[in-house]
């Protein structure tokens, strides 16, 4: 199956009301041809509603949807020529894998010779060419999902929409299929829009991630941008793990005093009059049994939790006066010291680490 240039997608001031409930308040977004974009957010944040508006299953209350600059608002789903993969595989149980994949081509009255060629290409692309004559019940969950993917790409759409397609699979199978989906996107070159609530999945797959919260887009960017430079507290807390330091009061210069009485420094300037918090990722913090050198931020606390992950561990430290546990994630190596509950440690980090965010 040859690579196919994807289409651009534009959402222009899209809003959606369900009765008295405003699900989407004037949302705008542009997706470039061939991009892999993930919609990420908690349940009820508006990501699936937005995907269904693009697909045509839901009509917006106001606004416009454009594909390659042409409005498709009002067109029924079957006339939009967009591929769609759901969490539920929706395969016909009584017909073979090849016949399931061929179904959208038969509806389009494609010739039998062309159907045979395209089905073979699609099954080869998803690695199921040897399962063409099997029935869906003879396949694993991951294989069934790949059949659904083959069926969605067999008629060569320029956009593929995927609504939590890996949500029903176990972790190892999810990770394996994530790499398959990434490869298929690279091979086809079409535009992928992928809905997920799994942060790691979005970071693994996407060129850009669109973060939703309460029907609004709160940040759009690459995985690196969202993780390293979140624009608000919601994104910082939703993408990975983070420690949030809230000031009891601001000190002179770029400092803040915490409820524990400790004063910490940061290098980012806050806007005049704006209340801010400092977000620091757990892997940027370090532990020391003895007081570290001057110049680092440091807090003294007691270990309350140790979680082992094989290549790393996450240590929770309770600092007197702070309401929240401080989390430190450190890589493990052959001479990593043992850490026990109730051990006392200094947490320390450079003032250049972390991001200052609106409170």
Identify the residue with better confidence: 64 or 172.
64
Residue 179: give its domain's CATH number: 3.40.50.300
Q: What is the pLDDT of residues 75-85, one digit of tens each?
A: 999 889 899 98
* Structural domain that includes position 258: 242-358
Q: What is the DSSP string of 16-54?
A: EEETTEEEEEEEEEEE-TT-EEEEE-STTSSHHHHHHHH
Both 180 and 158 in one domain: the answer is yes
Both 227 and 258 in one domain: the answer is no
Both 168 and 204 in one domain: the answer is yes
Mean of pLDDT values over 142-148: 90
H helix or E strand, kind and range, residue 104: helix 97-107
In a domain, 118, yes or no: yes
pLDDT of 94 over the 80 cut: yes
Q: What is the DSSP string of 216-238?
A: EEEEEE-HHHHHHS-SSHHHHHH
Domain count, the chain: 2
pLDDT of 173 over the 90 cut: no
Single residue among 215, 237, 259 that ends a domain in this structure: 237
Mean of pLDDT values over 331-340: 90
The pLDDT value given to residue 167:
80
Query: Nearest-CA neighbor of 86 among 176, 156, 161?
Result: 161
Both 175 and 209 in one domain: the answer is yes
Both 191 and 273 in one domain: the answer is no
In a domain, 43, yes or no: yes
Both 196 and 65 in one domain: the answer is yes
The pLDDT value given to residue 270:
64
Single residue among 237, 265, 299 that ends a domain in this structure: 237
pLDDT of 273 over the 70 cut: no
In a domain, 321, yes or no: yes
Quick check: 84 and 152 in contact, CB under 8 A?
Answer: yes
**Sheet containing 9-18: order of strands:** 21-31, 9-18, 62-67, 70-71
Query: Nearest-CA neighbor of 321 among 301, 291, 292?
Result: 301
CA-to-CA dists, residue 106 to 19, 55, 116, 359, angstroms:
39, 21, 11, 56
The pLDDT value given to residue 354:
86
pTM of the model: 0.90
User: At residue 101, what are phi and psi to the nearest 5 degrees?
Assistant: -65, -35
- Strand 36-40 relative to strand 191-196, pairing: parallel
pLDDT of 305 over the 70 cut: yes
pLDDT of 2 over the 60 cut: no
Both 226 and 250 in one domain: the answer is no
Single residue among 237, 258, 292 that ends a domain in this structure: 237
The pLDDT value given to residue 335:
86
pLDDT of 280 over the 90 cut: yes
Quick check: 28 and 14 in contact, CB under 8 A?
Answer: yes
The pLDDT value given to residue 266:
87
Please, is 171 exposed, middle or buried when counting C-beta atoms within 10 Å of its C-beta (0-12, 13-18, 19+)?
Answer: exposed
Residue 353: give its domain's CATH number: 2.40.50.100
Both 99 and 210 in one domain: the answer is yes
Tell me the C-alpha distance between 286 and 283, whole Å: 8
């Amino acid at each position: 199956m040859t690579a196919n240039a994807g289409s651009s997608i534009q959402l222009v001031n899209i809003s959606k009301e369900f009765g008295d409930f405003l699900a989407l308040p004037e949302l705008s977004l542009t997706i470039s041809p061939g991009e892999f974009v993930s919609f990420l957010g908690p349940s009820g944040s508006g990501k699936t509603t937005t995907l269904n508006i693009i697909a045509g299953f839901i009509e917006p209350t106001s606004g416009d949807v454009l594909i390659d600059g042409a409005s498709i608002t009002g067109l029924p789903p079957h006339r939009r020529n967009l591929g769609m993969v759901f969490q539920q595989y929706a395969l016909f149980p009584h017909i073979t894998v090849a016949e399931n994949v061929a179904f959208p081509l038969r509806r389009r009255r494609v010739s039998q010779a062309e159907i045979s060629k395209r089905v073979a290409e699609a099954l080869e692309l998803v690695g199921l060419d040897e399962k063409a004559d099997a029935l869906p019940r003879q396949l694993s969950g991951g294989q069934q999902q790949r059949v659904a993917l083959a069926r969605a790409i067999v008629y060569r759409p320029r956009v593929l929409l995927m609504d939590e397609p890996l949500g029903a699979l176990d972790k190892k199978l999810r990770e394996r299929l994530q790499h398959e989906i990434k490869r298929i996107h690279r091979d086809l070159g079409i535009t992928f829009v992928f809905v997920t609530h799994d942060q790691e999945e979005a970071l693994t797959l996407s060129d850009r991630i669109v973060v939703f919260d309460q029907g609004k887009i709160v940040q759009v960017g690459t995985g690196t941008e969202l993780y390293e430079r979140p624009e608000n507290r919601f994104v910082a807390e939703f993408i990975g793990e983070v420690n949030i330091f809230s000031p009891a009061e601001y000190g002179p210069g770029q400092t803040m005093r915490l409820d524990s009485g400790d004063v910490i420094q940061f290098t980012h300037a806050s806007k005049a009059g704006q209340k801010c918090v400092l977000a620091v990722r757990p892997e940027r913090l370090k532990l020391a049994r003895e007081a570290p050198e001057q110049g680092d931020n440091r807090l003294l606390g007691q270990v309350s939790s140790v979680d082992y992950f094989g290549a790393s561990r996450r240590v929770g430290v309770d600092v007197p006066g702070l309401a929240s546990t401080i989390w430190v994630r450190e890589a493990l190596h052959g001479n990593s010291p043992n850490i026990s509950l109730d051990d006392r440690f200094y947490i320390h980090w450079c003032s250049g680490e972390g991001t200052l965010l609106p409170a």
